[in-house]
Amino acid sequence: MLPITGYEKEKDTMNERARLEGPLTCDGVASRRDQKEFLQVEREVNRGNPHWVPPIWSERRKIVGFKHHPFYDDADRQAFIARRGSRPVGRILAIVNHGHNRRYEEQRGFVGFFECFDDREAAAMLFDHAFDWLRQQGMTDVRGPVHPSLNYEVGLLVDGFDSPPTFLIPYNPEYYEKLYQESGFEKTQDLFSYEAHIDIIKDLDPKLKFVIDEATRRFKVNCRPLDRKHFKKDVRTFLEIYNRSLEKTWGYVPMSEAEIAEQSAGLKHLIVPELTSIAEIDGEPVGAGFGLLDYNQIISKIDGRLFPFGWLRLLTGKRKIDRLRLISTNVLPKYQKWGIGLVTLSRILPDAVDFGIQVGEFSWVLESNKLSRGTIERGGATRVKTHRLYDRSLD
């Protein structure tokens, strides 16, 4: 990869070339060629950036709706691509999430998958086309970026550009914040990523250890990893707890049964059972958590391509990954204030050490989730990245 100075020089060259090439147009994505160019914009904008990691391209095609994904069974979307002459210089996806609007009694649209050269005119045209389409669907407000909802990748990186993202965490050029603000967006919520070396995680604050021990004793909690023999069932159990535990979380919309099935299939080959935890009380699952290996360490080497041999490298390279994203620790509402989440997490830590994990990342944590933030910060973790969600009226 280029050193950062080389990246900055190449970025300036690409941005200047993008600005000079012909008249600016913006059209809805309609053909397969359009779809290919829509996907390719992400690579072109980030080309040479030493911290950008390509997505798994086959999954990106599905999650934007170019192939079937169950999220769009209850959502509408329209993709747009901006060009200068024949050269693609930007893209955006406008989304109507019917589940969100039913749940919150809103007429709110969403935008996501925005990528653009540092071209204010192109960015403004992309946002304007997305806004117009959302108005035509009856939307009165817009939020973003979501890719395509809070259950997937979410937020605009506004702090922490000096290191690569972990798996399934967005990364974007620093100037995107300016482009969003110039299109009328205002901050509505931040999402934080925290990092801790494994030695810090092992040496828990005595108060947190007391909570873990007391909750385990009081509720007779038993924690176990996912069962390889009943893997599919246990992944579904985790996702069902995830759905039920987040009912009162800001902006949350439960995944549908079809989404749960899709996620279960996708996680089957990525989850390492010993880095997971299911908490049971009287034999009933009440909490679940898992650490997801930072597969970006491998994805960057295979350029996001699973075929023909990318899958093999992804699966055989697991043991070389030394970073773990503690993606979720969820507890049923009845037990959420009793420390069961800490009990669930504590089961993973010894196995993470044995696996060779050096760094754990807690991501993402809502700014408004003061309980989780306080616990993580008291445990010694450091905030390393901030992603932001924006709102805007369409009036």
Assigned domain for 395 exists: no
Region for residue 224 given its phi and psi (left: phi exceeds 0; alpha: psi -120 to 50; beta: otherwise): beta
Assigned domain for 359 exists: yes
Among 35-39, 292-296, 349-353, the least confident range = 349-353
Indicate whether 210 pLDDT > 80: yes
Higher pLDDT among residues 93 and 337, named by residue? 93
Residue 148 shares a structural domain with residue 46: yes
Residue 74 shares a structural domain with residue 223: no
Residue 163 shares a structural domain with residue 267: no
Assigned domain for 239 exists: yes
Q: What is the model's pLDDT at position 336?
A: 84
* Residue length of the chain: 395
State the CATH number of the domain containing residue 28: 3.40.630.30
User: The tokens of 4 are what?
Assistant: 């950062």
In the block, tokens 């974007």 appear at 172
Percentage of the chain beyond pLDDT 70 is 93
Residue 160 shares a structural domain with residue 211: no
Assigned domain for 106 exists: yes
User: What is the band of 184 on the pLDDT scale with cuts at 50, 70, 90?
Assistant: very high
pLDDT digits 0-9 by tens, 18-42: 555 679 999 999 999 999 999 999 9
Residue 200 shares a structural domain with residue 179: no
User: What is the band of 394 on the pLDDT scale with cuts at 50, 70, 90?
Assistant: very high
pLDDT digits 0-9 by tens, 48-86: 999 999 999 999 999 999 999 999 999 999 999 999 999
Residue 151 shares a structural domain with residue 199: no
Assigned domain for 203 exists: yes
**Containing structural domain, residue 322:** 195-386
Over the chain, what is the mean pLDDT?
90
Assigned domain for 189 exists: no
Assigned domain for 126 exists: yes
Residue 165 shares a structural domain with residue 204: no
Residue 232 shares a structural domain with residue 381: yes
Q: What's at 203, amino acid-wise?
A: D
